[in-house]
Amino acid sequence: MLRFSSSKLVGTLAVIIVGLALAIPSFFSPEQRKAFVASAPSWLTALVPTRAIVLGLDLQGGSQIVLEVDRPDLTRTMAQQLRDDVRRALREEGVQADGGVQITPRGVQLRVSDPAARAKALPKLQALSQPVTDAVLGQTGARTLEVRDEPNGTIQLTFTEAGTNARVRRAVQQAIEVVRRRVDLGGTTEPSIQQQGADRILVQVPGLQDPQRLEEQLGKTAKLEFRMLADSAAGDVDLLPSRDSNGQKVPVERRVMADGADLTDAQPGFDQKTNEPIVNFKFNLRGAQRFGQATSENVGRPMAIVLDNEVVSAPRILQPITGGQGQISGRFTVQQANDLSVLLRAGALPAKLNIIERRTVGPGLGRDSIEAGKLATIAATVLVVTMMFACYGVFGLFANIALMVHVGLILGLMSVLEATMTLPGIAGIVLTIGTAVDSNVLIYERVREEVRAGRSIPSALQAGFDRAFATIVDSNSTMAIAAIILFFMGSGPVRGFAVVFILGILTTVITAVTLTRMMIAVWYHRFRPKVLPI
Amino acid sequence: MRLLRLWPDESHFDFMRLRRFSFPLSALMSVGTLVLFLIIGLNFGIDFKGGTLIELRPKAGQSDVASVRHTANGFGFGETEVQEFGNQGAISIRFPLQAGGETGQTLVMQKAHEAFDRDYAFDRVETVGPRVSGELVQSGTIGVVLSVVAVLLYLWFRFERELALGAIVGTLHDIVLTVGVFVISRIEFNMTSIAAILTIVGYSLNETVVVFDRTRELMRRYKTMPTEELLNRSINSTMSRTVMTATSTALSLVALVLFGGEAIKGFSVVMLIGVVICTYSAIFISSPFLIYIGLQAGGGIRATGRDPAALPQAAE
């Protein structure tokens, strides 16, 4: 019969009231919410929900960038470091490699034709191979390098797959730190930076006005080096483009005298004489010592300030710089000097990052989408509510109340779960408005049938609810399966749609089945109708 | 007060007889879709094709599509599509995927900003690189296949085997025809379209399950009823629900088409057509399909072939 235990009644109402209460903050603007939290006493803010639904970037406007560690670039850097290590190892053993150490696509190779020398060098080279350690797996048993001693006197040092992967993982974690510092120093609000997959970083910045600048800042490695300008292109030199000579290549010594890792601070400023924007920097103790020594040894020679393999400027060293402070000039604009100081403060990226995906939505478009979504929701509600009332009368009214509660519960659950509302999510809500009444329709149609079959009113109501319940479970379960898969396979906004859809299915059971049943039970006991008005 | 009835209370329509028309019609449409799919293909958005999409809005006054088209084509980034859409003079520009890896895409953005920053606001910018788009295709396909398999498993446990098969045939039919809608309408196929298809999978099954739930119930009650009559009865007795739900869902989708904005218009249109397809297939494809497989007319149905206790019972 249509009886409810009072505990069930209270329980259902409590769930609904709490759920709806959670939705309330979302109807106020962020300013109003902030004002409320600031003015209300703390016991009240602890009791009253103040958290609103998080709007996705497609609704509030903003930028999303997916960065990927450039594996080839990272491998190149690794190979260069390996070459330095190999050279040091050879130097320590006093071994000469014929023709030097060459970089190969996946490591380095060298040739030591003297067997005795090779026997001396090999253990040292083998010691360069380290066991791979992984933050998650611990020691994996694999090694970072494969050392092959070939019969013709060539020695190949190749990076293993496991070693490279571990290095990529480390690089991603390091890069996340650097990216976070850069975005924070750029002064934007509430950025979200997370790892995605093995070698990717997802950066989301809401409300960003100038996504291009963010891209430029994130894409730069910001590897700063102080090296000496070489006299000729022969010997241990790199040919690097120079800003002073409009991109023409100039020879720069390979030896790095100091680098950005030793910086403690960098600030934009102006040159006192020329009034040109510059960047002032400060070294830590180690950097100051190295820089001091290098500048005192090379007074009178030009020193190249190399940023990301470009010579920014090459001032002549007039006197030893021992205070650990200096300045970089390079025909900067104020903005460039500002950006460079941010990059230097945040540190260098371990490898180049490529932008593999970017999505930016202007704030105006986001506002338009919200307005359109509101309008569509209201229109859908009016249409469905009218139809339900026209077809089922007072029972339709019950279904409509359940429908409103249903939408409110979705919003409430979304706020408490901190799920993100996206544009497809709004579409999901509108769609849910259409499908949510399905459960009620199933029940009502069943009740009609049972009445036609000659059952008494209470027994027809009872049978309608009971019989329809199995169908409701089956139909909602199949929808839920599709929605859950959508959640796991989808990305970004589509996920938002899946969340709404899953929550919609969950709340249907509470509203369409339990809540309507209660309303009908109360109504029946109050009026005792002789004929069912449906 | 007289209540509105969208479908008569008592109906005895012979739905099963229409299978002589509906099956050839659906077969024709499915084959047609397949052929068109192979010849024309889907209008893939940049999610799946890679490339750059830019939406511009004039900062003041009118937008000049012709000049934007001329400028954009002049960049030399290959086949560039420039379209006007919506009613506020918004312009969308689509650049194909550029060679030269990720930096190629960045170059497109720089050029575009140089050319249009003065007169237009950048409402939306999306760039998807080649690897990302490949992965999105992959995960989208896996998603659809996985959902069909998962649902099949669920139905297998909850229903008789024939009913599960009937539901799957109906669902596949709906997926194929929905893809056909995308092929013919040239509505852009992107991540949101995958969402539309999966939702249609859900809706399609919902429709079929409601009818089959009734079929199962009647199978137990009338053990000797011929299959055709049984199915006709199931459909007729659930028809008022089917019409109601289809109407309410369609109404809300109409609201979405009319007021939801440009960004989800394609999604809403496809969903709207999808609801019609799903309703049609639940009645004219999934159910008559049962006649063809195993549930022969005239014979006792094998509803008692299993332990009835293993099947979910509606409480009496």
Three-state secondary structure of B174-191: HHHHHHHHHHHHCCCECH
Concatenated DSSP letters of A152-188 = TSEEEEEE-HHHHHHHHHHHHHHHHHHHHHHHHHTT-
pTM as predicted: 0.81
Q: Which of residues 249-278 of B touch A (CB under 8 A)?
A: 249-256, 258-261, 263-264, 267-268, 271
- Beta-carbon contacts of A47 under 8 Å, excluding residues fewer than 6 positions away, are none
Q: How far apart are CA B86 and CA A375, in angstroms?
A: 16
Q: Are A424 and B192 inside 8 Å of each other by CB? A: yes
Average pLDDT over residues B196-203: 88
**Closest to A441 (Cα-Cα) out of B54, B139, B238:** B238
**Do the chains contact at B195 and A486, CB–CB below 8 Å?**
yes
Upper half-sphere CA count for residue A130 (Cβ side, 13 Å): 11
Show the tokens assigned to B165. Answer: 């098969």
Interface with B, mutate which of A70, A202, A308, A356 (most B CBs under 10 A): A356
Residue B316: what pLDDT?
Answer: 36
pLDDT of B32 higher than 90:
yes
pLDDT tops 70 at residue B1? no
**Closest to B1 (Cβ–Cβ): which among A372, A393, A445?**
A393
- Look up tokens 């839920």; give the residue: A480
Neighbours of A62 (CB within 10 A): 27
User: Closest approach of chain B CAs to the CA of A359, in angstroms?
Assistant: 4
Q: A219: which chain B residues are within 8 Å (Cβ-Cβ)?
A: 106
Tokens standing for residue B71: 């400028």
Average pLDDT value for residue range A366-378: 91
Characterize A319-356 residue by residue with b for buried, 16 or more Cβ atoms within 10 angstroms of its Cβ, and e for exposed: eebeebebbbbbebeeeebbbbbbbbbbbbbbbbbbbb
pLDDT at residue B221 in the model:
87
Give the chain B residue whose CA is nearest to the CA of A64: B126
Q: Which of the four pLDDT bands, split at 50, 70 and 90, describes residue B302? A: very low
What is the model's pLDDT at position B285?
93
* Residue B36 Rama label (left phi>0; alpha psi -120 to 50; beta): alpha
Judging by DSSP bridges, how do beta strands A54-55 and A420-421 pair with one another?
parallel
pLDDT at A320: 86
Strand partners, A224: A307
Question: Is there a contact between A131 and A143 (Cβ–Cβ < 8 Å)?
Answer: yes
- For residue range B236-255, list pLDDT tens digits in order: 999 999 999 999 999 999 99
Q: What is the mean pLDDT of chain A?
A: 85
Name the pLDDT band for A372 (thresholds 50, 70, 90).
very high
Kind plus residue range of the DSSP H or E element containing A382: helix A363-417
pLDDT(B303) > 50: no
pLDDT in tens, A444-491: 999 999 988 888 888 999 888 888 888 888 888 877 888 888 888 877
Which residues in chain A have their CB less than 8 angstroms from residue B260's CB?
372-373, 375-376, 426-427, 430
**What three-state secondary structure class fits B129?**
coil
pLDDT band at residue A136, thresholds of 50, 70 and 90? low
Percent of chain A with pLDDT over 90: 12
Residue B226, pLDDT > 90, answer no
Cβ atoms of residues A311 and A304 within 8 Å: yes
CA atoms within 13 A on the CB side of A203: 33
Determine contact, residues A523/A1, Cβ cutoff 8 Å: no
pLDDT in tens, B126-164: 988 888 888 888 888 888 888 888 888 888 888 878 888
Q: Which amino acid is at A496?
A: G
Indicate whether B301 pLDDT > 70. no
Report the alpha-carbon distance of residue B112 to residue B73 in Å, rounded. 11
- Which among A35, A397, A481, A524 has a CA at the least distance from the CA of B150? A481
Interval A230-270: pLDDT, tens = 888 777 788 888 887 777 888 998 888 888 888 888 888 88
- Rounded average pLDDT over B291-299: 61
Q: How far apart are CA B82 and CA B60, in angstroms?
A: 19
Task: Tell me the one-letter amino acid at B99.
Answer: A
Question: For chain B, what percent of residues have pLDDT higher than 70?
Answer: 91
Task: Name the residue in chain A with its Cα closest to that of B129.
Answer: A356
Query: In what side-by-side order are the strands of the sheet with A325-328?
Result: A263-270, A277-283, A325-328
Tokens 């998603």 belong to B143
